[in-house]
Chain A
């Protein structure tokens, strides 16, 4: 038996997982996403990654970015290392792809703000 906190939403349900043969029995969740989360946690835990990358703009030196899906928990530091080498030279919009297929995960890195909102005359 294993207990964990579901991180799918801010409610943070306390989940209890028991393995019954090849099946997992999950209790404590208030919605169906809890079960999926618990099983993934025991088989292949994944996370979204949010961080920043360097830009060439002095008035906006860091662009916030995120993975457009979840990457394996164990690959997060590979993702961070690859992003250390990125330098953004264009005025990008929220959702623009900054890196494709980061660390061979099949997941892209996308911008999370439109730089026009943060630069120039407002």
Chain B
């Protein structure tokens, strides 16, 4: 690779989003390069050995490694290079695109140019120090992903008797995984009054193994200096504040934290790209382009998805639009998509480019709380552009709706609204 190389599209990250973006960009005719900081492509899928991936994308129930291998093969078929063990030091915006400063063992520090960038950096787990719990952080406190790495990649059992805090999917998956490998999982504790993970994971990971789920409970103290010896559990009120006098001690040598994922956007922030306070990902239009021309975002860096199939879907679209970016000449005309925080956790994309040729808009959203028989409508001024009844919407389950802009007149509009109406 020459240091002066210029690519049409450079994708940052070779997880499911980045592999899909690289594959689609190359298939659309763009010269494409994928950069990955780890030694191997595949991202977190490498350690997600459980199944349930790919039902939408491949109409087949695959394990994480199988799903990753499918995309690694697709990328290989397109002859896209994945530059592994390579870190991005800095991205500079230039007049004709972007200049990336990179470092790896083989080439030292070097630079590459790209006309368009796809940010597929994924997300990170909230760490033990970002979670407010009294007491120290001795050995035995692990994020669910770290515990998963120890068990599935290294083959180490991180604890013999553990408590899991948080009912997110990775926590539920780890409750089953640790049980199968011989750890006694005392229970899963969730501060909210409803589970965070998918209903199927409550069923097949907890109920199958008689692991209790305690809603409206949290860990308020970690006991132990060198190693976890016990945790203090408290009931919480509706505002998730611990209720005095409800404390109980649970002896254990491990505390697994499954308390949320945060999109990774250090590079986006460095570039001055605007982020959404709700998703923690960049603001994008229907072409996955961020507030900075030529920079696209997809997968869990854009917003935390519940299915990898959607991660790949956004990756393929972002890759395709990044490939088309160089051929575009018209200016963007952005129309805001407004929503109420009382009804929605978030809506992606945050705006629609009315000048774009892409009239097939896919909106992803999550309801604020569990809603039964509610209608979701799109309004433009007084015109109702779309209406659909949803028998049930749950915050852990992302909803998706498609809009055909050819059928809508948004040319004069400055704002679209997405509304939730009683059924």
Contact = CB atoms under 8 A, between A and B. Distances in A.
Interface of A: 4-7, 9-10, 12, 14, 47-52, 54, 61-62, 64, 66, 73, 76-77, 80, 94, 112-114, 117-118, 122
Given A48-B51, A52-B49, A64-B152, A113 B66 contact: yes
Nearest to A30: B391
A6 B200 contact: yes
Nearest to B204: A7
A7 to B, nearest CB: 4
Nearest to B153: A62
B65 A64 contact: yes
Contacts of B52: 10
B202 interface: yes
A114 B41 CA distance: 13
Contacts of A52: 49, 151-152, 155
Most B C-beta atoms less than 10 A away, residue of A6, A49, A51, A61: A51
Contacts, number: 85
Contacts of A9: 55, 61, 200
A64 B155 contact: no
Interface string B49-67: 1111001000001011110
B200 A51 contact: no
A95 to B, nearest CB: 9
B180 interface: yes
B360 interface: no
B184 interface: no
B240 interface: no
Contacts of B65: 64, 94, 112-113
B152 A114 contact: no
Contacts of B51: 48, 50, 66
Given A10-B55, A47-B208, A122-B84, A94 B69 contact: yes
Contact of B49 (A10, A61, A112, A114): A112
Shortest Cβ-Cβ A-B pairs, 7 listed: A12-B199, A113-B65, A64-B49, A12-B200, A5-B203, A7-B200, A62-B155
Contacts of B49: 50-52, 64, 66, 112
A14 B199 contact: yes
Contacts of B181: 51, 80
Contacts of A6: 200
24 contacts: A5-B203, A7-B200, A9-B61, A12-B198, A12-B200, A12-B397, A47-B208, A51-B49, A52-B152, A61-B154, A64-B49, A64-B63, A64-B64, A64-B152, A73-B208, A77-B180, A80-B180, A94-B66, A112-B66, A113-B65, A113-B68, A114-B69, A122-B39, A122-B40
